[in-house]
């Protein structure tokens, strides 16, 4: 699968690189370097806050396991960090990053249990992202003068997120088997029978896992959501600290909140672009211009984010090397493990 999508990854990376060069030159290399110099040892705080985000998501994943399966924090943290690193360095790594986390701990818990817990944790994370983006778009719309296009974009984001949250709440409460139901109807009408032969079974199995967790583990919902919320708050703190060191304008929690919510939108929409090269610089530079912080501040903020991503990616790769593994081997192993698990479900 990675080989199939590799050419697309190269194309996206090339386009992103062009965008990166354009916005760096537009912001001014000397100005960016001056901001980077101002940060100095403050980068250690950025790294610590980024590490905290891995900690809370690892803890949220641990809470998504059901008895008798349990995962130690040390194993969860190493697997989560390693899976995230794979997502950054493998072309279109979103295909393998999540199953890789489960594959890396299958000596501790069964693969199916690990994949189920990852699926549930991702649902909680997606809900928290939707709420966070909704809050950020609301703050941007109500607190800052915007261009017509940006105002309508913010309104569109608010409307789209509100619909998604409402549908998710209704589906969960009514245990509405939307995905498998649609696939079953298509299959019954002869649409894509070969393609849907096993996919409808997998969709049903996934829905069973999610609704089963909802029925059996409701007391964990609040702790998991709080951990996901801590992930986003650590991101806000990271933006605030960065701006404190580099910006000519004193930062506020409101601007930091808005900038981090914009970063979440960029991450969600452009996950397929390797390291989101060029996209981060363009999006953050444009929004800091609107917030009167200057384009150079936004581009520098995006570059500092990339630097801390590279640092923690290096730590994840180091975990792999310490186990005598390579990124390619783990990615391949994760895909084979996921394929085998799907085959068992389909059978």
User: What per-residue confidence (pLDDT) applies to 113?
Assistant: 84
Alpha carbons 126 and 123: distance in angstroms, whole number? 5
Alpha helices in the chain, H assignment, sequence order = 2-27, 29-39, 42-63, 73-89, 97-104, 111-143, 148-174, 178-188, 193-216, 221-246, 253-269, 279-290, 295-322, 327-346
Separation between Cα atoms, residue 204 and residue 181, nearest integer Å: 8
The closest alpha carbon to 121, from 54, 74, 26, belongs to 54
Listed in sequence order, the residues at least 6 apart from 113 whose beta carbon sits closer than 8 Å to its beta carbon are 65, 66, 69
Report the percent of the chain where pLDDT is more than 70: 83
Q: Which of 41, 16, 45, 28 is nearest to 297 (CA)?
A: 28
pLDDT band at 345 (very low <50, low <70, confident <90, very high): very low
Residue 163 CB neighbour total at 10 angstroms: 10
Three-state secondary-structure class, residue 153: helix
Question: Does residue 58 register a pLDDT over 90?
Answer: yes
Lowest mean pLDDT among 6-15, 95-104, 157-166: 6-15
62 half-sphere exposure, CB direction, 13 A CA radius: 18
Say what the pLDDT of residue 156 is.
Answer: 87
Hey, what are 14's tokens? 């090339």
Mean pLDDT of 79-96: 77
Looking at the predicted structure, is the pLDDT value of residue 267 above 70?
Answer: yes
Q: Is the pTM of this model over 0.85?
A: no
Q: Residue 328 pLDDT more than 70?
A: no
- Provide the 10 A C-beta neighbour count for residue 127: 19
Residue 3, pLDDT score: 52
- Judge contact between 266 and 280, C-beta under 8 A: yes
End-to-end CA distance of the chain: 22
- What pLDDT is attached to residue 2? 47
């Amino acid at each position: 699968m990675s080989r199939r999508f590799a050419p697309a990854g190269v194309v996206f990376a090339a386009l992103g690189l062009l965008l990166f060069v354009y916005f760096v030159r537009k912001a001014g290399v000397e100005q960016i370097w001056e901001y980077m110099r101002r940060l100095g040892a403050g980068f250690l705080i950025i790294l610590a806050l980024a590490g905290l985000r891995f900690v809370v998501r690892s803890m949220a994943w641990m809470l998504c396991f059901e008895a008798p399966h349990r995962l130690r924090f040390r194993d969860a943290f190493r697997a989560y960090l390693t899976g995230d690193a794979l997502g950054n360095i493998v072309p279109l790594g979103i295909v393998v990053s999540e199953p890789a986390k489960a594959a890396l701990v299958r000596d501790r818990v069964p693969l199916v249990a690990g994949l189920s817990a990852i699926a549930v944790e991702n649902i909680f994370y997606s809900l928290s992202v939707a709420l966070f983006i909704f809050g950020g778009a609301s703050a941007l719309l109500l607190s800052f003068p915007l261009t017509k296009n940006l105002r309508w974009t913010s309104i569109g984001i608010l409307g789209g997120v509100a619909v998604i949250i409402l549908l998710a709440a209704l589906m969960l409460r009514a245990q509405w088997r939307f995905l498998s139901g649609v696939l079953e109807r298509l299959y019954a009408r002869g649409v894509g029978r070969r393609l849907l032969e096993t996919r409808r079974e997998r969709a049903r199995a996934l829905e069973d896992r999610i609704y089963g967790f909802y029925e059996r583990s409701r007391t964990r919902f609040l702790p998991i959501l709080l951990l996901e919320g801590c992930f986003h708050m650590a991101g806000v703190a990271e933006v605030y600290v960065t701006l404190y060191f580099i910006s000519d304008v004193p930062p506020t929690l409101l601007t930091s909140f808005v900038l981090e919510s914009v970063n979440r939108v960029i991450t969600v929409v452009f996950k397929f672009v390797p390291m989101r090269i060029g996209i981060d610089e363009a999006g953050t530079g444009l929004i800091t211009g609107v917030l009167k912080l200057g384009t150079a501040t936004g581009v520098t903020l995006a570059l500092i984010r990339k630097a801390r991503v590279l640092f923690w990616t290096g730590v994840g790769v180091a975990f792999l090397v310490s186990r005598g593994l390579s990124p390619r081997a783990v990615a391949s192993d994760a895909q084979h493990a996921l394929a085998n698990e799907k085959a068992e479900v389909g059978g």
